[in-house]
Amino acid sequence: MSTLIPTIKSGNKKPVEPNFNLLPSLPSWFDDILGKGLGTEFMSNFNTGITLPAVNVINSDNEFVIDMAVPGLKKSDFEINIDNQVLSIGVETKTENNEKNENYTRREFGYSSFKRTFTIPESVDADKISADYSDGILKIHLPKREEAKRKPVKQIKIS
């Protein structure tokens, strides 16, 4: 709780009168209990949407590779575009379940989406960018232009 309760300091001869306006109110106690104790357990299935996935960017001699962990999706869920040296990776999924029984009808639906964007360096050959999705990992390969690839060390002999 963020509300402070006054206490008696040692050596103080006059006791501090409690000010009940400084005590936490009943609604704030409920907020603390629901926010900390029951919030995640009670509502564990409430918001199961996709959060912004973490990304690994690997810079090798010949290419950049973007790895993104996004399990549970299909290849068709992804939209990957390049526009004006900006790579955008987006996902939009919709789910709908209908269950009918003789005594009740239950309908649940959900919507999830995210979009990540990356500025592509001039050293990338945009025409050769490729992507693959396997075992929940999206990999985007951004090959470097020939002139940008790291050249092996050349030793110069003194004449």
DSSP 25-64: PHHHHHHHIIIIIIHHHHTTTT--PPP---EEEEE-SSEE
Q: So what's the pLDDT on residue 44?
A: 41
Whether 50 is in a domain gets the answer: no
- Do residues 23 and 1 lie in contact, with contact meaning Cβ atoms separated by under 8 Å? no
- The whole-angstrom separation of Cα 5 and Cα 16 is 11
Name the token pair of 155. 């030793």
Query: N- to C-terminal Cα distance for the chain?
Result: 78
Q: What's the number of domains the chain is made of?
A: 1
For residue 102, give the CATH number of its domain: 2.60.40.790
Name the band, by pLDDT with cuts 50, 70 and 90, for residue 9: very low
pLDDT band at 124 (very low <50, low <70, confident <90, very high): very high
Is 129 part of any domain? yes
User: Does 59 map to a domain?
Assistant: yes
* Residue 127, in any domain of the structure: yes
Domain range spanning residue 64? Answer: 55-148
Q: What mean pLDDT do residues 94-107 have? A: 77
Instruction: Over range 88-108, report the average pLDDT.
Output: 81
* pLDDT one-digit tens code per residue, 28-87: 555 555 555 444 444 444 444 557 888 999 998 899 999 999 998 889 999 999 999 999
Measured between alpha carbons, how far is residue 5 from residues 25, 33, 85 in Å? Answer: 12, 18, 57
Stated pTM of the model: 0.58
Instruction: Report if residue 133 sits inside a domain.
Output: yes
Contact predicate 50/113, CB 8 Å: yes
